[in-house]
């Protein structure tokens, strides 16, 4: 059993895999068509519960807590492998459960993991759904739709750009609203578009607070950089793992793969975390005057995250794949949770398309 009480009809289970013991939420018959659901950063499997319950008959939901999160065994994330620790963990889980092929959906950082799955094991995926995904080129430190680095050491990405106060308050299990970086305040300000509040706010906050904190976990380590804003990626933890420094050739692999599952890309119209002017991006914060010393648009502009994703998906379609972009209006970073009445029909139609 996990530490967060689940909605009726959802099974919470610990599953031993070749790499680590994973906490997983399950629903549906074991012989149902598997749907792997991958949560985002400062989050956990509980963020999928309504999506799980809404799945049509005949599908089996599998929503694990990723390495570094929730009730899954606490093991370090080697960021120098990019998203590959998570990919290997998830493929190991699906092997243990006996699923050679499956649908996959990823939210936010989970979307970054989906890109890595599409680059690594596309032959195992029926369909892919990415919800407000991190850019295929990584989070932070790039300047154009082709993912060109702002600096050779990828300054402006990784553990050094995380608000240390946010991580400290997660470590303390802080549930109040006294501070601007309070996990509850961050969740209600940025995970969705205010004034939206989720009916399971306390359980979701527990999911945020489940992230493993430390210099080799979250926010992770960093390197000093001579380039603005003075920090480059370290080697450990989730924030470093999604740095463009370690994404490597995953975009090229995804585009060159002979198997290209159809991709549904869903995003909120008013997302402040993943956008072309993300408030979690150093280029944006420099341009707005929040982070001093900004060297200007030519050196370190706001990362065009949406533009980068569209650029890669257009190439994906041109090389034999297919994608569909859906923008949910008046919605923030979590359209599947804010507007399930709009998201679920899109998702279910995509699952049934193959």
Beta strands in the chain (DSSP E): 11-16, 21-27, 33-38, 59-64, 102-107, 125-131, 213-214, 218-219, 222-224, 231-233, 263-268, 323-328
DSSP assignment of 256-318: H-S----EEEEEETT-SSSSTT-TTSHHHHHHTTSSTT---TTTSPPP-HHHHHHHHHHHHHH
- Rounded to whole angstroms, how far apart are CA atoms 20 and 73? 6
- The first and second tokens of residue 286, run together, are 């420099």
Query: Can you give the length of the chain in residues?
Result: 354
Query: What are the tens digits of pLDDT across the range 125-179?
Result: 999 999 999 999 999 999 999 999 999 999 999 999 999 999 999 999 999 999 9
- Indicate the domain borders of the chain: 11-351
Provide the token pair at 306.
């949406």
pLDDT score for 1: 81
**What gap in Å lies between CA 194 and CA 295, rounded to an integer?**
32
Q: What's the average pLDDT block by block, 10 residues per block, for the chain (354 residues)?
A: 95 98 98 98 98 98 98 98 98 98 98 98 98 98 98 98 98 97 98 98 98 97 98 98 96 98 98 98 98 98 98 98 98 98 98 96
Report pLDDT digits (tens) over 283-300.
999 999 999 999 999 999
3.20.20.210, 3.40.50.300, 3.40.50.1820, 3.20.20.140: CATH of 11-351: 3.40.50.1820
Q: What is the pTM (predicted TM-score) of this model?
A: 0.98
């Amino acid at each position: 059993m996990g530490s967060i009480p689940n909605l009726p009809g959802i099974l919470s289970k610990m599953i031993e895999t070749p790499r680590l013991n994973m906490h997983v939420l399950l629903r549906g018959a074991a012989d149902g068509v598997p749907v792997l659901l991958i949560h985002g950063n400062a989050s956990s499997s509980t963020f999928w519960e309504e999506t799980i319950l809404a799945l049509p008959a005949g599908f089996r939901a599998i929503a694990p807590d990723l390495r570094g999160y929730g009730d899954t065994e606490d093991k370090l994330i080697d960021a120098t492998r990019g998203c590959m620790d998570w990919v290997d963990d998830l493929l190991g889980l699906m092997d243990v459960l006996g699923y050679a092929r499956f649908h996959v959906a990823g939210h936010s950082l989970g979307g970054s993991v989906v890109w890595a799955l599409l680059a690594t094991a596309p032959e195992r995926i029926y369909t892919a759904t990415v919800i407000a995904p991190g850019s295929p080129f990584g989070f932070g430190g790039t300047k154009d739709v082709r993912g060109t680095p702002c600096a050779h050491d990828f300054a402006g990405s990784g553990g050094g750009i995380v608000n240390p106060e946010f991580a400290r308050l997660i470590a303390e299990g802080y549930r109040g609203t006294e501070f601007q970086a309070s996990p509850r305040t961050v969740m209600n300000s940025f995970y969705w578009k205010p004034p939206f509040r989720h009916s399971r706010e306390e359980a979701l906050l527990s999911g945020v607070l489940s992230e493993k904190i430390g210099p080799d976990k979250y926010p992770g380590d960093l390197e000093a950089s001579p380039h603005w804003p003075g920090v480059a990626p370290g080697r450990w933890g989730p924030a470093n793992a999604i740095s463009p420094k370690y994404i490597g050739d995953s975009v090229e692999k995804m585009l060159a793969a002979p198997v290209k599952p159809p991709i549904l890309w869903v995003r909120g119209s008013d997302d402040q975390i993943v956008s072309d002017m993300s408030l979690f991006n150093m280029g944006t914060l420099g341009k707005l005057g929040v982070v001093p010393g900004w060297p200007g648009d030519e050196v370190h502009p706001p990362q065009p995250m949406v533009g980068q994703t569209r650029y890669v998906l257009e190439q994906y379609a041109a090389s034999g794949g297919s994608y569909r972009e859906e923008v949910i209006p008046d919605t923030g970073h979590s359209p599947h949770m804010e507007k399930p009445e709009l998201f679920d029909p899109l998702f279910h139609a995509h699952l049934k398309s193959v």
